[in-house]
Structure 1
Amino acid sequence: MTETTDAGAGTATTTAARAHARSQAGAVVDCMPLLPPPPGTLWSETVAGGGYTHLALPAGAHVTLTDRDGDACAHLLLYVTGRPWERLSAADTVKVQWNAYLGTGSQLLSDQGRVLATVTADTSGRHDALAGTSTAARNTARYGDGSPQGPSPAGRELLLLAAAKHGLGPRDLPAAVSLFHGIAVDGDGALHSTGSAGPGTAVTLRLEQAVTLLLANTAHPLDPRPAYRCTPLEVLAVPGEVTGPGDPHWDATPERHRAHLNTAALGVR
């Protein structure tokens, strides 16, 4: 067999495959991490619609998620780094704060009453802490395919891939919260979609502990549109400080104050 380094002629040999792979060095595409991250940042990435990412970030980091084109939906899970049994509890996030709707000032709480992240800024206002993410079975029924490599990947299956990168498995996946696609509760308790707030909206999370963040950017399970629709999500993490006494978020409500005290008492932020 004649070897070739012409990518257009295929990659039928290891020599050709290596040459083709090396020819991609320095290429920039629309959705990818920036390596190295820009100066002054911890991470910068654009996650494609139907894609996922996972980050281990220090306490105090500020993570800004931006719905670039207006149809991103960030399904988010948080775990305390080194103590992954302490993780996001969507139920406690809603119950403890007496509020089913996330926004500026909301805490993302663990199942042990501690703060994992504080929402310090929000220009979207369209989020969901109730419905969870999509599943392969649901997406297959709706769109014909829910596999991670297919045209309409499901959030749970992408989060499972992200979790595996950190030694976590199916038993470790709690219900996710979803950002940039709103859900409202009707008087009879039914949920309905309120859609997106539009392109360019952003949410900033201040991490109150060292956190491992798993994120799947997939269509919301209650999106009423017949076609699978999900556009890129921008992720930017920069260093910062945790919330401390005197910060308006510390004393915003008695419940939030208590959650910050629980977190500070742990002494490992």
Structure 2
Amino acid sequence: MSVKVLWEDSIPGGSHGSFIMKRDTILKVTDIVGNGNLVALFYNMDNKLERYNMADTLKAQHTFFLSKGNVCYSDMGRILCSIVDSSCTWHDTISGMSNTETITTKYGALNYQEARNDMHRNAQDSVLIELSKWGLDRRDLVANVNFFSKVTANAQGVLSFVSDNSKPGDFVELRFEMNVLVVLASSQHVLDPSPRYSPNPFALTSLKCSSAGPYDLCRNLCPENGRGFYNTELIFR
């Protein structure tokens, strides 16, 4: 798969951003410090009513978390993006994101007037700010992916956050199978037990790539993915 760099950027700890990734491009995200958490949401840019669906993503691929080879399904049975490479073997899908209450309870309230850019931000408000830039609002919030975080469940269904899941320099590469609005927020995981507010920065690199071929790892991970790619490719014929 031949690639070339289109642009490079970064997202500071506690910050947020949104942008469009075109079909046949890759977004490489690198956890600079390690033990980071990056909240991510995906929407079909050509029809923003179509968006990432956590339940279908997990059900179709018979998994509880995402890793290399997995894809992110939309609520219309199509594939928004594929994880073509990842040095981190577990990305959380089920825990959601922090809000004002969870951040204030755990770390205390610290607003912009008091702390300027060191204020305590929560992921939900960050995501809502980005969604508003594209004509979306609270009604368009859906379950998100927490890249670089690991959460396990015991026999009773109790969730446990696993610290140090991501090491400095760990990365994930997302190949986009349609034109996608990407919304990101660098925010500590909602279950992170750390008593200190310290969201981490991430490096972003956009790469041009070729389309998924017939022997593509993500396409052939399971029969459901093959059908998902077929459904996606129909809209580009």
Deviation at 1:146, TM superposition (A): 7.6
**1:207 to partner: Cα distance:** 0.4
What is the count of residue pairs matched by the alignment?
Answer: 229
1:10-69 Cα distance to aligned partner (Å, 9 max, x none): xxxxxxxxxxxxxxxxxxxxxxxxxxxxxx533311111100111112101111000001
Aligned residue for 2:130? 162
Instruction: Pick the aligned partner of 1:136 from 100, 105, 108.
Output: 100
- Highest CA radius of gyration, 1 or 2? 1
**Structure of higher RCO (CA pairs closer than 8 Å, 6+ residues apart):** 2
SS in 2 for 1:64: strand
For 1:236 and 1:127, locate their aligned partners in 2 and report how far apart those are by CA, in whole Å. Answer: 19
Worse-matched range after superposition: 68-77 or 245-254: 245-254
Deviation per CA, 1:69-123, whole angstroms, max 9, x where unpaired? 1132110001111200000111211111110121000011101111001001111
Bigger Cα displacement from structure 2, 242-251 vs 90-99: 242-251
Provide the identity percentage: 29
Aligned match of 1:200:
169
Secondary structure of 2:173's aligned partner: strand
Residue 124 of structure 2 aligns to a residue whose secondary structure is helix
Where 1:96 maps in the other structure, the secondary structure is: helix
State the partner residue of 2:208.
Answer: 239
Tell me the distance in 1 between the aligned counterparts of 2:6 and 2:66.
Answer: 25
Distance 1:43 1:184 in 2: 35
**1:227 Cα deviation (Å)?**
1.3
8 A contact 1:136–1:147 mirrored in 2? no
- Paired with 2:201 and 2:88, the residues of 1 have a C-alpha distance of 15
Contact 1:250 1:256 in 2 (8 A): yes
2:27 to 63, 66, 70: 63
1:183-222 matches, within 5 Å, as 183-195=151-163, 196-222=165-191
Q: Is the 8 A contact 2:70 2:221 kept in 1?
A: no
Note if contact 1:62-1:237 (Cα within 8 Å) is conserved in structure 2.
yes
CA separation in 2, counterparts of 1:197 and 1:190? 22
Give the alignment's TM-score, normalised by structure 1: 0.81
Question: Do the aligned partners of 1:126 and 1:194 also contact (CA within 8 Å) in 2?
Answer: no
Residue-by-residue CA offset, 1:146-191 (whole Å, 9 max, x unaligned): 8686632111110111111111111111111101111112111111
- Quote the Cα distance in structure 2 between the aligned partners of 1:266 and 1:104: 25
> Secondary structure of the residue that 1:248 maps to in structure 2?
coil
Q: TM-score, normalised by structure 2?
A: 0.91
- 1:249: Cα distance to partner? 2.4
